[in-house]
Amino acid sequence: MGIDLGGTKIAAALFNADGEILNRERMETANARTAKEVVQRMVEMIHSVSMEHPVCGVGLASPGTVNSKDGIVLQGTNLPEWNNIPLKKWMGDALGIEVEVVNDANAAAWGEYVRGAGKGSGNMVYITFSTGIGAGIVLDGKLLLGANSFAGELGHNIVVPDGPACICGNNGCWEMYASGTAIRDSALELMLSNPSVIGELAAASGEEISAKHVFEAHRQDDPIAAQVVSRAVHYMALGLANAIHTFNPDRIVIGGGVSKAGDLLFPALKAETEKLVMKPYRGTYEIVPAGLRDDVGLIGAAALFHT
């Protein structure tokens, strides 16, 4: 069983040994505010989704900082008042089944490694360029957790010491330069003094300006969009180069909303990364789009129980 606990919804799915989904459910978390209430809902969901099948384990992907060894959510981003919640114990006691808890980016990385675009690689770095940046690392076939299972926070690597303030309290984190939010902010800044079709595209879609409109405008040869994308690609590649030098992966899997830019992103990102890595690393890795979409956290969480 895999569970993906998000800020607004909970998804649960029952998998067979081949990783196929047998049954699934989704629920809004809106009116279950306390951790106890959310746990109660998840326990009910598991009973309902399992349809009396024997379940060998429940893998739970949680946002925020997670102590995976003890299965405790130390601080749940997007989950207000989630501090030191012993999910593994509460869920395990209620269900009588083994429960594992991992951070959602690590779950997604594991999902891509076992069932997605990371399959067949031995050393993989997974990066999701979304509202923020998430990451997870698989080395020698194992999910890298580290001493406190906090490994993989590449989004908060400091890339510009005197850069803008990040929610984490530091300045100039990678996600301030290479996330979807950063792409939007850099477009908004340039649009103050330059005409661009980015705003028109957003208005026509009835949406707020976002990275998506920047890439759409780039497809229409808008010069401001080209400038924003080129800056973003440079910073994305800079972080990938740091990861390549640190982990020596054979594959880098790129997910998240921004990766939907596809051919407007990947060739440029590959070229820029090759420019930034040291010579011996050139040609030693591939950069590929993620293979799994919205279910990646669920799939990765469930796959903690068999590979």
- Give contact residues for ligand ADP (rule: CB under 6 A): 130-131, 180, 210-212, 215, 256-258, 260-261
Angle at 95 (CA atoms; ends 42, 150), nearest 5 degrees: 65
Nearest to 88 by CA among 296, 297, 301: 301
Q: Which of the listed partners (ligand ADP, Zn ion, none) does 261 bind, with a CB threshold of 5 to 8 Å by partner kind?
A: ligand ADP
- Beta-sheet strand order (sheet of 9-15): 21-28, 9-15, 2-5, 58-62, 99-103
Min separation Cβ 282 and ligand ADP, Å: 27
Q: What are the helix (H) ranges across 56-209?
A: 87-95, 104-115, 175-178, 180-191, 198-205
Residue 24 near Zn ion by CB under 5 A: no
Nearest to 175 by CA among 155, 152, 151: 155
Neighbouring residues of 19: CB distance < 8 A, sequence distance ≥ 6: 114, 115, 299, 302, 303
What are phi and psi for residue 217, nearest 5 degrees?
Answer: -65, -35
Angle between helices 198-205 and 180-191 (to 10 degrees): 120
Q: Which of the listed partners (ligand ADP, Zn ion, none) does 115 bind, with a CB threshold of 5 to 8 Å by partner kind?
A: none
Q: Which of the listed partners (ligand ADP, Zn ion, none) does 244 bind, with a CB threshold of 5 to 8 Å by partner kind?
A: none
Min separation Cβ 258 and ligand ADP, Å: 4
CA distance 25 to 12: 5
Min separation Cβ 47 and ligand ADP, Å: 28
Q: Which of the listed partners (ligand ADP, Zn ion, none) does 173 bind, with a CB threshold of 5 to 8 Å by partner kind?
A: Zn ion
Min separation Cβ 189 and ligand ADP, Å: 16
Nearest to 172 by CA among 233, 260, 238: 238
Q: Name the residue nearer to ligand ADP (CB basis): 90 or 174.
A: 174
Residue 231 near Zn ion by CB under 5 A: no
Site for Zn ion in 157-176 (CB under 5 A): 166, 168, 173
Residue 156 near Zn ion by CB under 5 A: yes
Q: Name the residue nearer to ligand ADP (CB basis): 29 or 123.
A: 29
Q: Which of the listed partners (ligand ADP, Zn ion, none) does 187 bind, with a CB threshold of 5 to 8 Å by partner kind?
A: none
Min separation Cβ 175 and Zn ion, Å: 6
* Residue-wise burial string across 38-52, b where 16 or more C-beta atoms lie within 10 A, e elsewhere: bbebbbebbeebbee
Min separation Cβ 106 and ligand ADP, Å: 15
Residue 301 near Zn ion by CB under 5 A: no
Residues near Zn ion, by CB under 5 A = 156, 166, 168, 173
